[in-house]
A and B are shown apart, each in its own frame.
Chain A
Amino acid sequence: MPAHAVPAVNRLKDYPVDVVAGDLFRHASGPVAEKWVTMANGLFALSQGSGLAAQELVARQIQDLGMSFRMTGDDEERVWPLTPMPLIIGAAEWAEVERGLAQRARLLEALAADIYGPQRMVSGGYLPAAVIAGSRFFARAMAGLAPRGGHHIHVYAADLARGPRGQWRVLGDRLRLANGVGYALENRLALSRSTGSLLSDINTRRLAHFFAELREGIAQDCQRDAPRIALLTPGHFNQSYPEQAHLARYLGFPLVEGRDLAVIEGKLYVRTIGGPKRIDALWRWIDTNSLDPLSFDARSTIGVPDMADAWGRGGLTMANWPGVEVVEEPAIAAFLPRLCRALIGEAPILPSVATWWCGQPVEAALVRDRLEELVITPAFGRPVEGLPPGARKVPGASLSRAERDTLLAAMARRPMDYCAQEIVELSTTPALVGEVFEPRAFTLRAFVARGTGGEWAVMPGGFARLSPSGEMLTTLMGEGDLSADVCVVDDAPAAQFGGTMLGGTPAIRRGGGILASQAADNLFWFGRYGERAEMTVRIVRAILGSSIEVDAGAGGNPAVRARLVGVLAEWGALDEAGAKLPAPQACRAALAEAVMPGGVAALLDTLRRVGLSLRDRFAPDFWRIASRPLPALESHRPGALLRVARELVERFSALSGLGAEDMVHGPAWRFLDIGRRIERALSICRILRQLGEVGDEADRLGMLLDLYDSQITYRSRYLTGPARDPVFDLLLLDPDNPRSLAYQVLALERHIAALPALHEDALPEAPLRDVRALLAPLTSMTVAAIDADLLQDIEARLLALSDAISARYFLQFEKTGTDHRASLLA
């Protein structure tokens, strides 16, 4: 139902009138208030008049996008809490914010340039040296080094509060990590996908232009014309990894970790399956201190040795320049109004929250006298004496007399560790809670990027955080918080920047971009673990008697069944005790086994962990299925277990299908498939050997056909029951059976032949030679030649092939050692 067809019920009619004067809706100008109503009504119209349904609508999109996050201490990712009602801000009001942010970005750039350059602000007495020295982020080694393009800052985020009278002010600056920029993007995607034309109905400005500018701004500072820009992540254990993976995918930047990179003669390279490839610029999501163990913290294991050489010699553009995060310290905020005049000769457009650094006698006295009215905060982010550990902002009024005395005594000893700030009151915005709109306090994280020509571009919108308690933000999201999209709206539809995400017509290109060796390694193992899990489940299914053979039923033969339980034990799916259980219990144990490496639960977990670092490469559907946990094993009954086994087999089939249909058939897909094919080929050899001469031949062969889904093919070809030669031919040599050994090896040969070569001499490399040596006999032999020795030989060659592939394409497992700093001390 289109929005304008809805009966004209004003869903915001009952929204409280007596909210604080800064409420975004109640105090919006006429045309903007109308847009609020349009949006509110539209949301209800889309969901047949139900607020809860509107929330579900959005929640579904979030699931589809695979949006998640972690809070400190979380092991698992949480679903992202996006509320459907965006913040709506009129163009006139936003213009002022935009001007203020661009000015602040200019100021911070000038300040960073001064701190790492002439240090005039320090020598001139505008900024005490102790304020900079106190920052963990002051990178002394960067002093005297300036970026080649002259730009220290490329991406900047600011937390804004709107006060009770509608005035905006800056709560804090973020130069280290622009956390939230990815979520702002995802919020918009989720909202626009779930609300039809609503966002354009109210003339919402698009975000795409901002990201195009960000990218262009970095590209322009690079030495080469078509630069390769990568996003440097600390790795998938990092709290904001999902956001980083999403941004990398959206912007088309390779997502790299330190161990993917190497510095060679002052230039940075990523190790790929096609050899080292130059990286021109990094959007870093790693602290300066961890970037280069030889220049900063020698204990860092996530950085790249000698990376400082690359940026120092101008061969590497950094967004942001190492060390700039020093300007985000609370203690620096105390000096920004003064620095604004001194550095750029202007008065600040957007005020900061008033801040006093206690390292100065006058300020320290003021804070002591007005302690009751202020909040006390560590000046440099690290814990300080007299404030509870982990506390970021403590209202002076909340302290007991004893706490207050302790704090004042600690402040007397080390006044430089403390800042005080005025208490900021937040205004409210209508939030959809259940079926009604309620006022909620909010803060807004805004984003600024250096764009074309080095000009500052402000994202029209941002990331809003709605807090039930009205508490000030310290992290990206707190318990019980909601996030909301922020819509900057024009009175009339503006000429929009192109419809595509990044605009302009890019040069046509194909293929999957570069594939880092590390990622190829993970893909390969993802394929292998997935196949191993699938095969284990297939054995379980076969044992549980899912045969379509109704008469006799291969699964009915106790000897064959016992042998298959033995296979489960040999594959590490069962421990010793488990192997002795009756067949159905053993099946349940193999499914539930989470400790033994071959247990299905353990394999699914490994699969998910390997997959985490591949998030940027998988479609959300694929990832959702791959990361689903084991279904609940509620019963021991074979029927119930069989249902679980079948569900799992279907899940694996869905993954294979999505992999084949949704992934571009480039190197990434090939490595995923190489892993799967090698594992499947290995399992055929092993199972054929391990089933040996157990039980009745017909039962055994029937079981093999079951395991490899080949019953129907067999019966369409042969009128007799299973016999050795036809079954072996079908499972080993038939190149058209997608579960046969020959088929796997053929596929391997095709994949490896299609991978990039290191040299231009066109000679086959070792993995290709190995796979061809394996393939040739399979294409020429007859079934009579097959015996256990041959199967064992093939198995050994497959394992050797796997080694050859990892030696050629993956990073050799080389632990970077750190030299013990040792000395003989007197």
Chain B
Amino acid sequence: MIYEIRHLTNLRYDGLVRLARLNLRLKPAPWPGQVLHDFTLTIEPRPAMIEEDTGPWVVHRHRLTMRDPLAKLAIESRLRVEVAPPSFALDMAVGPTVTEVRAAALAHRDLSAMSPASYLYASPMAASSAEIASWAQPFFTPDATVMQAGRAIMAAIHAGFDYDGTATEVQTPAIDAFHQRRGVCQDFAHIMIVAARAHGIPAAYVSGYLRTIPPAGQPRLVGADATHAWVDLWCGAALGWVGFDPTNNVFVGSDHIFTAMGRDYTDVAPIDGVFLGGGGQRMTVSVDVMPVG
């Protein structure tokens, strides 16, 4: 499946800000099964400096420095990307047990951003929680396979939590959303990550886009799509990282477009940075995911 994606972010500051320095994590990092054909980034006003790098997670980063004082900033990325369907039938996959995956991750001899060892521990927005751990206990029995456990917990989140765009904010930690039993994709992903890590299973936060299918008979609305987030669990050396989308209770397939992977939202935030002065700020985002073939 080939997509054309347009992602527009408008930032407005209440006063003039000086020396704004931003990290953008908008360009998809290389990912198996996905080919990036084209990427353009347009920033208005033009930054004094743009640098690019990759890492330290599975992240492609643009670093912007704005020298001239500014009151608003428009960031537009456009990309054309090809996503292959999963190479095996995820529904049929079995894979190793929780006990086996834990042992394999702990014995891993790789510290890279793709290594399961890098996703075993608590992270800034996915702090460990005894409460979430015991909630997830029934899913992570020692003899269950990680595929089974992942599917069960994904279904449990989908069934037990309400999707509510007003319940949480972008900085809400996993445990708060867990208590409220509501939130958005980011919250659901964080909860699932905390649950899996509580049982020693490597779990990663993935940011990306989701193709939305308009209801039958209605046209696709331009700009109404959104950025999305889901969870990758490491299911042993043979299966590797497998994507679970707890918001929609589906495996990640060719409707999901990968942007970046890290321990939690903070590692892959589309935009963060610092500036001098200003005061308040508002941000509007519009995303358009268009299948083109």
A360 contacts B170, C-beta separation under 8 Å: no
B227 contacts A129, C-beta separation under 8 Å: no
- Cα distance, A815 to B13, chains bound together (Å): 14
Interface segment out of the listed A222-230, A661-669, A818-826 = A818-826
- Cα distance, A263 to B118, chains bound together (Å): 31
A821 contacts B269, C-beta separation under 8 Å: yes
Minimal Cβ-Cβ distance residue in A for B19: A305
Q: Is B281 an interface residue (CB 8 A)?
A: yes
A826 contacts B225, C-beta separation under 8 Å: yes
- Cα distance, A382 to B197, chains bound together (Å): 15
Q: Is B86 an interface residue (CB 8 A)?
A: no
A 249-285 binary contact with B (CB < 8 Å = 1; else 0): 0000000000000000000000000000000000000
Interface segment out of the listed B28-36, B76-84, B270-278 = B270-278
Nearest-neighbour CB distance to chain A for B121, whole angstroms, equals 5
- Cα distance, A143 to B56, chains bound together (Å): 8
Interface segment out of the listed B107-115, B150-158, B214-222 = B107-115
Listed residue (B122, B226, B287) with the most chain A CB atoms within 10 angstroms of its CB: B122
- Cα distance, A619 to B63, chains bound together (Å): 45
Q: Which of A770-826 contact B (CB under 8 A)?
A: 814-826
B184 contacts A826, C-beta separation under 8 Å: yes
B277 contacts A814, C-beta separation under 8 Å: yes
B17 contacts A825, C-beta separation under 8 Å: no
Q: Is A119 an interface residue (CB 8 A)?
A: yes
Listed residue (B106, B128, B140) with the most chain A CB atoms within 10 angstroms of its CB: B106
Nearest-neighbour CB distance to chain A for B5, whole angstroms, equals 13
Q: Is A359 an interface residue (CB 8 A)?
A: yes
Partner of A298, one of B56, B63, B272: B272
Nearest-neighbour CB distance to chain A for B55, whole angstroms, equals 7
A141-B55, A294-B23, A359-B106 known; A821 vs B281 contact (CB < 8 Å): no
B 235-271 binary contact with A (CB < 8 Å = 1; else 0): 0000000000001000000000000000001100111
Minimal Cβ-Cβ distance residue in A for B118: A133
Q: Is A140 an interface residue (CB 8 A)?
A: yes
Q: Is B199 an interface residue (CB 8 A)?
A: yes
B117 contacts A133, C-beta separation under 8 Å: yes
- Cα distance, A416 to B108, chains bound together (Å): 13
A823 contacts B270, C-beta separation under 8 Å: yes
Q: What are the residues of chain A within 8 A of B55 when measuring CB–CB?
A: 140-141, 143
Q: Is B229 an interface residue (CB 8 A)?
A: yes
Nearest-neighbour CB distance to chain A for B109, whole angstroms, equals 5
B270 contacts A416, C-beta separation under 8 Å: no
B 25-43 binary contact with A (CB < 8 Å = 1; else 0): 0000000000000000000
A 85-124 binary contact with B (CB < 8 Å = 1; else 0): 0000000000000000000000000000000000100111
Give the number of residues in A that approach B within 8 Å (Cβ atoms): 44
A305-B21, A823-B170 known; A125 vs B109 contact (CB < 8 Å): yes
Q: Is B133 an interface residue (CB 8 A)?
A: yes
Nearest-neighbour CB distance to chain A for B197, whole angstroms, equals 8
Q: Is A306 an interface residue (CB 8 A)?
A: yes
Partner of B275, one of A130, A414, A817: A817
Nearest-neighbour CB distance to chain A for B219, whole angstroms, equals 19
Q: Which of A560-614 contact B (CB under 8 A)?
A: none
Q: Which of A740-765 contact B (CB under 8 A)?
A: none
Partner of A140, one of B57, B165, B185, B270: B57
B199 contacts A413, C-beta separation under 8 Å: yes
A823 contacts B227, C-beta separation under 8 Å: yes
Partner of A817, one of B17, B105, B115: B17
Q: Is A506 an interface residue (CB 8 A)?
A: no
Q: What are the residues of chain B within 8 A of A360 when measuring CB–CB?
A: 106-107
B111 contacts A818, C-beta separation under 8 Å: no
Partner of A413, one of B103, B109, B200: B200
A 282-321 binary contact with B (CB < 8 Å = 1; else 0): 0000000000011001100000011000000000000000
A134-B120, A416-B200 known; A825 vs B226 contact (CB < 8 Å): yes
A817-B278, A821-B265, A822-B285 known; A415 vs B227 contact (CB < 8 Å): no
Main secondary structure, interface of B, reads mixed
B226 contacts A122, C-beta separation under 8 Å: no
Q: Is B60 an interface residue (CB 8 A)?
A: no
B 144-184 binary contact with A (CB < 8 Å = 1; else 0): 00000000000000000000010000110000000000001
Minimal Cβ-Cβ distance residue in A for B51: A309
Partner of A819, one of B200, B229, B274: B274
Assign chain B's interface to a size class.
Answer: 35 or more
Q: What are the residues of chain B within 8 A of A128 when measuring CB–CB?
A: 106-109, 117
Q: Is A216 an interface residue (CB 8 A)?
A: no
Q: Is A361 an interface residue (CB 8 A)?
A: yes
A128-B117, A306-B21, A819-B274 known; A824 vs B226 contact (CB < 8 Å): yes
- Cα distance, A124 to B110, chains bound together (Å): 10
A825 contacts B266, C-beta separation under 8 Å: no
Q: Is B228 an interface residue (CB 8 A)?
A: yes
Q: What are the residues of chain A within 8 A of B119 when measuring CB–CB?
A: 133
Q: What are the residues of chain A within 8 A of B292 when measuring CB–CB?
A: none
Partner of A414, one of B199, B278, B279: B199
Q: Is A132 an interface residue (CB 8 A)?
A: yes
Minimal Cβ-Cβ distance residue in A for B273: A819
Q: Is A425 an interface residue (CB 8 A)?
A: no
Q: Is A56 an interface residue (CB 8 A)?
A: no
Q: What are the residues of chain A within 8 A of B273 when measuring CB–CB?
A: 294, 298, 818-819
Partner of A815, one of B140, B199, B225, B277: B277
A415 contacts B226, C-beta separation under 8 Å: no
Q: Is A471 an interface residue (CB 8 A)?
A: no
Q: Is A159 an interface residue (CB 8 A)?
A: no
Listed residue (B119, B121, B133, B283) with the most chain A CB atoms within 10 angstroms of its CB: B121
Q: Is B130 an interface residue (CB 8 A)?
A: yes
Q: Is A385 an interface residue (CB 8 A)?
A: yes
A824 contacts B269, C-beta separation under 8 Å: no
Nearest-neighbour CB distance to chain B for A799, whole angstroms, equals 24
Nearest-neighbour CB distance to chain B for A465, whole angstroms, equals 31
Q: What are the residues of chain B within 8 A of A305 when measuring CB–CB?
A: 21, 274
Q: Is B192 an interface residue (CB 8 A)?
A: no
- Cα distance, A814 to B276, chains bound together (Å): 6
B283 contacts A822, C-beta separation under 8 Å: yes
A824 contacts B285, C-beta separation under 8 Å: yes
Minimal Cβ-Cβ distance residue in A for B128: A385
B106 contacts A130, C-beta separation under 8 Å: yes
- Cα distance, A380 to B21, chains bound together (Å): 33
Q: Is B97 an interface residue (CB 8 A)?
A: no
- Cα distance, A415 to B103, chains bound together (Å): 10
B225 contacts A817, C-beta separation under 8 Å: no
Listed residue (A133, A143, A297, A414) with the most chain B CB atoms within 10 angstroms of its CB: A133
Nearest-neighbour CB distance to chain B for A264, whole angstroms, equals 10
A294 contacts B106, C-beta separation under 8 Å: no
- Cα distance, A819 to B25, chains bound together (Å): 14
Minimal Cβ-Cβ distance residue in A for B286: A824
Nearest-neighbour CB distance to chain A for B288, whole angstroms, equals 12
B56 contacts A141, C-beta separation under 8 Å: yes
A129-B110, A294-B63, A826-B228 known; A819 vs B133 contact (CB < 8 Å): no
Nearest-neighbour CB distance to chain B for A391, whole angstroms, equals 15
- Cα distance, A197 to B185, chains bound together (Å): 72
B227 contacts A819, C-beta separation under 8 Å: no
Query: What are 5 A-to-B residue pairs whose CB atoms are below 8 Å?
Result: A125-B109, A133-B111, A415-B200, A823-B285, A826-B212
Known contacts A132-B111, A817-B278; 10 further A-B pairs (Cβ under 8 A): A122-B109, A123-B110, A130-B106, A143-B111, A816-B274, A819-B273, A821-B171, A822-B271, A825-B165, A825-B229
Closest 6 CB pairs of A and B: A140-B56, A129-B117, A826-B226, A821-B269, A824-B285, A130-B117
